[in-house]
Structure 1
Amino acid sequence: MNFPQFAFNNVKRNASAYMAYLFSSAFMVMIFFSYSVFIYHPQLKETLMGAMARSGMSIATYIVYVFSFFFVLYSIGVFIKSRNREFGILTILGAEAKQINGLIFLENMMIGTLSIVIGIVFGLLLSKLFLLICSKVMDIDELPFYWPGKAMLLTILCFGVLFFTISLFTLLFINKRKVLELLKGSSKPKQEPRTSARLALFGTVLLAIGFVSLHVGTLNPVSLIVAAFTGIAGTYFFYSQLSVWMIKRLQRSRQLTWKGINLLWMSEMSYKIKDNTRILFLVTVMTSLACMSVGFVLASKQTTEAAYKNNPFAISYTMNDSNHLNDELKEIDEQLKEAGLTFKQATIETIYNKISASEKSYLQLVSLQQYNQFALEMDAAPVTKLSDGEAMLVQSPEAEKKNADIQGTTIGIQRVNSVQTIALKQRTDAIANLTWAGRVLILPDQDYEAIKEEKSNNNNAVLPSIHYKTINEKGIPGQNDPETKVGETLTTWNKSLMDQGKTSNYLTARSETYFSKKNAMALFSFIGLFIALIFSFSSASFLYFKLHTELVVDGIMYRSLSKMGLSSKEMNTSATRQIALLFFIPIIVAAIQSLVVLGPVLNYIAIPYVRGPVFLATTAFLALQIIYFLIIRARYIQAVNHNMV
């Protein structure tokens, strides 16, 4: 048997151990290859979003490749550590350091080559489906299958270099170790986990600083950086100090600790959390990033859909220029009729005026009479009579969620030489979308006319607008529905007139706004979801690799306990609880971190929906984690059961 055959047999004999690493690496190769297939598609440059889609996918490819490097490096390091005893025996039998290094190098390259082959094969089999999904999500013409020669060459080259580099780098893990140290492997006795009350308190303070920097004061880049650093550092101290400290405090309760098998699994848990601090920290960070990514995508999608559903006006037209007004209104009417849409229309006049709540806050004012007439024509609820010195603030549901600059029972209206204080009432109604900000302040007629008189010298302050409401709406339209088509046509026509300087009147269409936002988010959503899936899969792999390295020691421990009378059922229960805590503690921590971070960040960029998307994202990752847990638990219990007497 020659040396390459010896290396091959080693891999073959350790197939069960290397299987998860092999498939995890192949999964990374497959994702990288799939992205490359999309990037090099010959028809992509002919599509409207081609350049942007290619750039976005290229960034995703870089992220996958960099992440793959660290993933493979960690995985190889874990498996080499689990084989220390084997390398020690080879050394005693006369193997030289360079021969052991050669063995490790050959084994890693064999697994790497097989990973590349499996990844590319599965990537080819799923490439048509991947291209179809990309086309649908990004709303571009369907991309047909082609033979991805460039993508295959790039994948082979990149991952060939990756596995070759890491195979050389991992030799540093073994060549300086002494024979006795290798023979002990991972069976060296563990010291009792120690914690420091000061470090636990320090970690708590770091987490508190991160929370305060996000939720107190105005959010800015500095506060985000502070929150990121303190949150990540605090998470590490949570696992290394605070969680172990909490378990040791629980162990002091005899009523809890001495009940059933609690003594066994709680004692082991303090060791496992301390030993797995880095892996739990890494899994939590990855899961948090994945949850935030999915939560952001879902929140953006929900906000975009809600903005469409809560806007009753298919077309809104603000009139700043009366020179060609009749011709433009005629064009709008003709386009709506040609599309076969039946609609109501109404005109209203507003005044753009500063309020004293904030130096940067402005509102559009409307008279009570005009508002009630407009509401009557648009089937909305009118406002009851306002007394002198009163005003009604009407906000759309989105504006009401994200605007917090108007609070209290009074509001100040900026006049020419003074500020007029008015008693404030508030109401939420979708009709407020008659303004771009979704807020309108209704004033008694006499107050409105007085302000309008003051604004007579400022032509831009008074803004007449006409709004079109379609009849018999059927929810969000499709890309090819009449409302979508006419909205796109009219906005393109209006933009062309404005670019040519032929008008200053401004037209918006809710369907065009909806699909432009949806298409802009589609690419980032697609990339974010795939990156999140990679993080989820990799976090489960990390936990599996760590449990596998501890399997020898755990097997010896459970064998000794079985001799003392521990039943298989009790052993299974104890092991299940320990594995469950390792799998699900990071999910809980990640969910809390996602909610804490995403809330202020999304509010800062005017996305009011937070809890629902974070809950859905966390639930999805929890479901995936449960599947991983059940699979890995079954393999772990099966392996440990072999050691029972």
Structure 2
Amino acid sequence: MSFPEFAFNNVRRNLRAYISYFLSSAVMVMIFFAYSVFIYHPDISHSDFGKYIATSMRIASYVIYLFSFFFVLYSISAFLKARNQEFGILTILGAQTRQINWLIFLENMLIGVSAIVTGVAGGLLISKLFLMVSTKIIGEVELSFYWPVKALIVTSSAFMLLFVIVSLFTLLFIRKKKVLELLKGSSMPKKEPQVSWLLSIFGAALLVTGFVSVCGEYSKNTLMTAALTGIAGTYFFYTQLSVIIVRLLKKNRPFMWRSTNLIRISEMSYKLKDNARMLFMVTVVTAIACMVSSVLLFMSQSNRELYDHSPYSLVYTVYDSNNDKPDLMPIADEIKAHGADYTELKIELLHHLFTLNGNTKGIDLLPVSKYRLLSEQTGLPGIQDVSEADAVLILCQTTNVQNYKDFANASLQAKSNLKLTVKQTVNTDILPFGQFSSPFLVVNDTMYKKLQQDPDISKVTRYLYKVPAWDGSPPSLSDPEVIAGTKLFEWNQKKSKEHNWNYGLFSRGENYQSSKQATSMMSFVGVFIALIFSISSASFLYFKLHTELNKDQRMYQAMSKIGLSPEEMSRAATTQIALLFYIPVFVAIIETLAVVVPILHGLNQTHIMSPILMTAAAFTAVQTVYFLIIRSRYVRSLRKIMV
């Protein structure tokens, strides 16, 4: 039997152990290849938005490739650790170090090449479906299938290089060990998990620092501080704090001696300590995926809410009202071209500067008569009569609403020496001017006329177009609201360039679809990265459990001889496996809540819990599927050795 045949037989006989690693690697290759098929598609270069999508997918492919390196490295090292005894026997039989290294290299490359071939073959099978689905989700013209020679070369070369580098790197795991250490393998007795109180306190302090950072004023520095302290604190949580928690549980004698808790808790301290680095890596990966998914889902919901809360299909804004009357005919003609009726409402506002808390701040002013017209058409909250010296603050819930909170219940001094006192504050979700909506003051008509006389005041005129036929659910790309809005947006861009950007057009349908395209594209890329992370995390846990299977079998077999029943064994093993699967998810969800909620609150966003909880539920459900599958296989293996 030749050496390559020996390596092939080793892989074939350990197929059950290698199958999860092989399939996970093949899925990574397949997704990387599918991304490459899109990136190098010849029609992408003819689309501006397509180039942006291709760039995003290229970044995603880099993330997948980098993560694949660490995944393969960890997986191979786990398998080598489980086979230490085998390598020790080969050494005693006369195998030289270079021969064992060559055997390991051949086995790794055999699995790697097989994964590349399988992944590329799977990618070719799904490439047409991938192109069709991806363009459908992001709203681009469907891309035709082509023979992806460049994608094939790039994918095969990249992953072949990855497997070669990792295979060479893993040889270091064997060289450092002596024959006696190899022969003992995983049967060497473990020492009691050690813990440092100093490092435990330091880890707790890092976690508290990270939480305090995200709760403060939002900035890039606070976000970076929260990320670094949170990641470092998570590492010390698994390596130090988890051991302390288990020790505290052990001191509770009534709890420890109940049922099989003695077995569960005693073994838990070893498993948490042994798997600390793996649990840390799974937690960080899951937390990042959960945070990104929550933000993307929130953006999608916010885009829908912006559409639902915008009562006017079109809002045309003239920022320099001293010019001649703007040409509104193209807007009317475009609406009529689609056979729709409309009403036009002209609203004039003043942008006035006031002294507030020693600072000069500006805010729009609207006469109460015009506000009541807006209220009738849009459903804005009604207000009572406003006296000449008073004002009502209308707080539209937009991202910049925090900048206007100081106006509430304040006395305002205008440059013209006129004074206003804000007597009432009205909060509303309705955005009467679409995305251009900002909080504004409603004042008495007489006061409004007086303020108009100020020569330094700037005037803004908005033309609001209500199109009943376009109201309802958000439109698709082919709906008249989007088609008309897109044409008018392009028309306004050209006109604004000619007039120094004194004109602004908000198209509710066009804005909704543009935001939806961007969010859908990011979600599409993010879903596949999250899928890679999820599959890899489950594989990490499976490899670790498989590595420790022989040791656990010996322990449970010995305990079955002194009376441990299969049902008690099943409950104890299930608890230990559940901890490995659910602790990272639970910690990742807490970190997501601790990071995303304060940041979005700092940006004055509301209704933020639902996307986070939906994302958390999705990750928990996927992890539960992996848990049930792996738990079933693991417990079945343990039952075979029970007396």
* Smaller-chain TM-score bracket: over 0.9
Hey, what's the Cα distance between the residues in 2 that align with 1:19 and 1:557? 26
SS in 1 for 2:383: coil
Hey, what's the Cα distance between the residues in 2 that align with 1:547 and 1:441? 64
More deviation, 157-166/403-412: 403-412
Specify the alignment match of 2:335 in structure 1.
336
Hey, what's the Cα distance between the residues in 2 that align with 1:85 and 1:503? 75
1:565 CA displacement: 0.6
More deviation, 239-248/626-635: 239-248
Structure 1 unmatched runs, 5+: none
More deviation, 16-25/358-367: 358-367
SS in 2 for 1:486: helix
Q: What do residues 291-332 of structure 1 show as CA deviations (whole Å, max 9, x unaligned)?
A: 011111101111111111101011111234569865622221
1:491 maps to 2:485: no
Q: Is the 8 A contact 2:29 2:116 kept in 1?
A: yes
Hey, what's the Cα distance between the residues in 2 that align with 1:294 and 1:518? 15
Q: Is the 8 A contact 1:247 1:270 kept in 2?
A: yes
Q: Is the 8 A contact 2:293 2:526 kept in 1?
A: yes
More deviation, 331-340/627-636: 331-340
Hey, what's the Cα distance between the residues in 2 that align with 1:247 and 1:16? 33
1:463 CA displacement: 1.2
Hey, what's the Cα distance between the residues in 2 that align with 1:561 and 1:361? 76
1:345 CA displacement: 2.1
With the length of structure 1 as denominator, give the TM-score of the two structures: 0.95
Specify the alignment match of 1:12 in structure 2.
12
1:419 CA displacement: 8.5
Specify the alignment match of 2:159 in structure 1.
159
CA, structure 1 residues 462+500, in 2 after alignment: closer, same or farther (shift >3 Å)? closer
Hey, what's the Cα distance between the residues in 2 that align with 1:638 and 1:419? 83
Report the residue type matching 1:81 in the other structure: K
Q: Is the 8 A contact 1:395 1:432 kept in 2?
A: no
Hey, what's the Cα distance between the residues in 1 that align with 2:552 and 2:387? 78
CA, structure 1 residues 572+447, in 2 after alignment: closer, same or farther (shift >3 Å)? same
Q: Is the 8 A contact 2:399 2:603 kept in 1?
A: no
Hey, what's the Cα distance between the residues in 2 that align with 1:598 and 1:526? 21
Hey, what's the Cα distance between the residues in 1 that align with 2:452 and 2:525? 50
Summarize the alignment of residues 372-521 of structure 1 with structure 2, pairs less than 5 Å apart: 372-378=372-378, 380-387=380-387, 389-398=389-398, 403=402, 405-406=404-405, 410-416=409-415, 420=419, 422-434=421-433, 436-454=436-454, 456-458=455-457, 461-472=458-469, 473-501=471-499, 504-521=502-519
Q: What do residues 484-526 of structure 1 show as CA deviations (whole Å, max 9, x unaligned)?
A: 1111111111111122339833222111222222223332222
Q: Is the 8 A contact 1:340 1:482 kept in 2?
A: no
Q: Is the 8 A contact 1:354 1:413 kept in 2?
A: no
Specify the alignment match of 2:28 in structure 1.
28
Specify the alignment match of 1:171 in structure 2.
171
Specify the alignment match of 1:209 in structure 2.
209
1:548 CA displacement: 1.1
CA, structure 1 residues 60+319, in 2 after alignment: closer, same or farther (shift >3 Å)? same
Specify the alignment match of 1:240 in structure 2.
239
More deviation, 319-328/33-42: 319-328
1:297 maps to 2:296: yes
Hey, what's the Cα distance between the residues in 2 that align with 1:221 and 1:305? 28
Specify the alignment match of 1:637 in structure 2.
635
1:225 CA displacement: 1.6
1:83 maps to 2:83: yes
With the length of structure 2 as denominator, give the TM-score of the two structures: 0.95
More deviation, 203-212/391-400: 391-400
Summarize the alignment of residues 190-201 of structure 1 with structure 2, pairs less than 5 Å apart: 190-201=190-201
Hey, what's the Cα distance between the residues in 1 that align with 2:374 and 2:22? 67
Specify the alignment match of 1:531 in structure 2.
529
CA, structure 1 residues 197+322, in 2 after alignment: closer, same or farther (shift >3 Å)? closer
1:104 maps to 2:104: yes
Hey, what's the Cα distance between the residues in 2 that align with 1:405 and 1:319? 23
Q: Is the 8 A contact 2:395 2:439 kept in 1?
A: yes
1:23 CA displacement: 0.6
Q: What do residues 186-211 of structure 1 show as CA deviations (whole Å, max 9, x unaligned)?
A: 11111112323332222111111111
CA, structure 1 residues 228+379, in 2 after alignment: closer, same or farther (shift >3 Å)? closer
Specify the alignment match of 1:281 in structure 2.
280
Report the residue type matching 1:260 in the other structure: S
Hey, what's the Cα distance between the residues in 2 that align with 1:297 and 1:128? 26
Q: Is the 8 A contact 2:33 2:120 kept in 1?
A: yes
Q: Is the 8 A contact 1:350 1:365 kept in 2?
A: yes
Q: What do residues 36-81 of structure 1 show as CA deviations (whole Å, max 9, x unaligned)?
A: 1111112222234122122111111111111111110111011001
**Structure 1 segments (4+ residues) deviating >6 Å:** none
Specify the alignment match of 1:51 in structure 2.
51
CA, structure 1 residues 399+387, in 2 after alignment: closer, same or farther (shift >3 Å)? farther
1:264 CA displacement: 0.9
Q: Is the 8 A contact 2:206 2:230 kept in 1?
A: yes
Specify the alignment match of 1:254 in structure 2.
253
Specify the alignment match of 2:554 in structure 1.
556
CA, structure 1 residues 632+396, in 2 after alignment: closer, same or farther (shift >3 Å)? same
Specify the alignment match of 1:349 in structure 2.
348
Q: Is the 8 A contact 1:398 1:608 kept in 2?
A: no
Report the residue type matching 1:465 in the other structure: R
